[in-house]
Structure 1
């Protein structure tokens, strides 16, 4: 009913790459929410659904392993459970999406895994970097009370995009796209990783192009009312890494 799990789990997020290297990232959590399946226009349901996204318990100083083309790569989680892999390719990958998996072994030796994909653009493709809040998702970012009210009372399927956004992004996705492969999209936001499932559900509901999400540092429940209020310098850093 609460859709919360106390089982350790890896949240692996879609990454990106080029002819030389790839990047993938994620979080290791010992407690967190299970993605929502049912959506209703109910104040209390939507409020709790939003609040539980911040009911997370990160696991720090844990070793996460990734296998790629027979090679093993490892990294250690930060204080907020975040981890990041960047590895050099032995040969260029075909453009498109490529599966990747990362895993963590608990004290009993059980392997906990997470799956995602890496996006490789075609050499001749356009790549689009887009903000999220108040770019295609009406968020009221400059008005904290209004922003929180919308977050707490609406859900990912009832929220509204700006008029014409879906059609505009669809045209960008196909603009001069080689071999019919959609142009890559990178969605960069000051919103926290807690909101990723929420944002992805909104994008799917409104037929926005599949893409790589680059969000802000995950927050625990006690910091929920500071959501989206972080310094924007981190956003520019994430954009520069893509470029």
Structure 2
């Protein structure tokens, strides 16, 4: 066995036992006095739904305000990352005629994947799934319930959109560690601003050319699940279409020091969306900073004929020869890729293809020019 594997096994053993000890202390000392189910929005088709969630100590993190201080922002972010996860408890999911009971893993995560032999009864695109905690953990515990929302394509859907977040929607400096940590821990959903024109462009894509807001958005990022509520609030504050948000766990695992690489995580999540939303064509949006073009190329190879367009925000001054090679290879598969500096460029192209109306371009251009 290599030194790396021995070190990983030792660290994982220590981490697991420390976590178990802290959980026991937290429950016995009543430091953990309130439990919550945190469901993450999911997606599905006419006969199946999928989503993940987590069971944690409720730390009472509220939405932010524009006037919140840097210290207040830091305290909220500290609470998000210093989570107290609850492993080994059962969660029951109930949706229409289906039920599924699952057990949380060592980090408190659970996943629900319900399949039906008959089509679901749908009255709209967003469906509600009831969740119930089956275990009694703290003294005087009341029912621990949650409701999750799952998107199922309903009517007038022209295409789906899958978008990265970091340096695609919002400048984060993901390629520069200090800048990324500073913007993550000291800002909030109001002070973090998206690239100009992004909100307008994404709203136009959601409505499509028929003007009906029915085209679904899916967000895939390598940010940790700890940031889920922060990112969902960010989308709402800046009027960017909401949708399922696929993040990742950054904790130590049995196999890796960090649970999954950026490439592996993003490719796996994007392809999960393609597998479940099997009747939808997609527009993919990313940036040139963290391998999005390479990941999207692999998606095109694995799902031929399913990708309409790839937009890549150009945030790097180098590496264009590699991007040109990827663009050429994509062209061989019949998929165009456009390197853009602003959302206006992408909007003008989408309008020319008939995917969004021409009338949407002017406001997007004004926002981009104001940057």
TM-score (norm 1): 0.86
1:235 and 2:266 are equivalent in the alignment:
yes
Once superposed, what is the RMSD of the aligned Cα atoms? 2.6
Report the structure, 1 or 2, having the larger helix content.
2
Q: CA deviation at 1:92?
A: 3.8
Q: 1:129 to 1:241 in 2, by over 3 A?
A: same
Report the structure, 1 or 2, having the larger strand content.
1
Q: 1:215 to 1:206 in 2, by over 3 A?
A: same
Q: Which residue of 2 aligns with 1:223?
A: none
Q: CA deviation at 1:109?
A: 7.6
Q: 1:159 to 1:204 in 2, by over 3 A?
A: same
Q: 1:167 to 1:92 in 2, by over 3 A?
A: same
TM-score (norm 2): 0.58
Q: 1:104 to 1:190 in 2, by over 3 A?
A: same
Which structure has the greater CA radius of gyration? 2
8 Å CA contact retained: 2:219, 2:245: yes
Q: Distance in 2 between matches of 1:43 and 1:139?
A: 17
Q: Provide Cα deviations, 1:145-195, integer angstroms capped at 9, x if missing partner.
A: 0111112222110111111111110110011458x2421000110011111
Q: When the two structures are aligned, how many residues end up with a matched partner?
A: 234
Q: Which residue of 2 aligns with 1:185?
A: 217
Q: Which of the numbers 23, 42, 54 marks the counterpart of 2:69?
A: 42
8 Å CA contact retained: 1:126, 1:177: no
1:200 and 2:229 are equivalent in the alignment:
no
Q: Which residue of 2 aligns with 1:21?
A: 48
Q: Which has the higher contact order (CA 8 A, sep 6+)?
A: 1
Q: Distance in 2 between matches of 1:177 and 1:65?
A: 39
Q: CA deviation at 1:230?
A: 5.0
Unaligned stretches of 5+ in structure 1?
Answer: 221-225
Partner secondary structure for residue 168 of structure 2? coil
Q: Distance in 2 between matches of 1:40 and 1:145?
A: 24
8 Å CA contact retained: 2:163, 2:217: yes
Q: Which residue of 1 aligns with 2:129?
A: 100
Q: 1:53 to 1:109 in 2, by over 3 A?
A: closer
Q: Which residue of 1 aligns with 2:187?
A: 154
Partner secondary structure for residue 111 of structure 1? coil
Q: Distance in 2 between matches of 1:101 and 1:39?
A: 33
Runs of 4+ residues over 4 Å off in structure 1: none
